[in-house]
Amino acid sequence: GKSSAAAKRAAVQARMDAEAEREDEAPAGPPAGVGIIFREGQQGNGTVLVVKAFAPGGPADSSGQIEVGDFLVTVDGKKVTTTQAATAMILGARGSLITMAFERAGAKFTVAMRRGLAATLK
């Protein structure tokens, strides 16, 4: 009869809608960072994170604004004092925005980057 054809059409439509929704979701993938390797150092009576090295071509390297020896002050406005905390806060969705504050020779500066994407050439 007519009702089974309508039911079949509705089922097919529902399945297509479900598949379309799945395609809209961004692939999770591994978390992305900015390509900085830190080491813990001492400053006064506290621990500071010092930029030790860069992943070549990574967001931090491509920014051209960060140098080996800079101190990491904050990640997205939150103070960081251990490499473990820094890693947890820096890793995030590929292409998402991150703002990091550094200190060099007593002067603070902020660098905004996108995780896991090399900066575009100017």
**pLDDT for the residue 85:** 93
**pLDDT for the residue 121:** 44
**pLDDT for the residue 21:** 52
| Interval 3-32: pLDDT, tens | 788 888 877 776 766 655 544 445 557 889
> Using an 8 Å Cβ cutoff, are 119 and 113 in contact?
yes
Question: What are the tokens at 117?
Answer: 């994407």
**pLDDT for the residue 100:** 98
**pLDDT for the residue 23:** 45
**pLDDT for the residue 1:** 60
In Å, how far are 13, 24, 59, 109 from 21, measured between CA atoms?
12, 5, 31, 42
Instruction: Write down the pTM of the prediction.
Output: 0.71
The ranges of the chain with pLDDT < 70 are 1-2, 14, 16-28, 117-122
- Using DSSP, how many helices (H) and how many strands (E) does the chain show? 3, 6
Longest dimension (CA), the chain: 84
**pLDDT for the residue 7:** 80
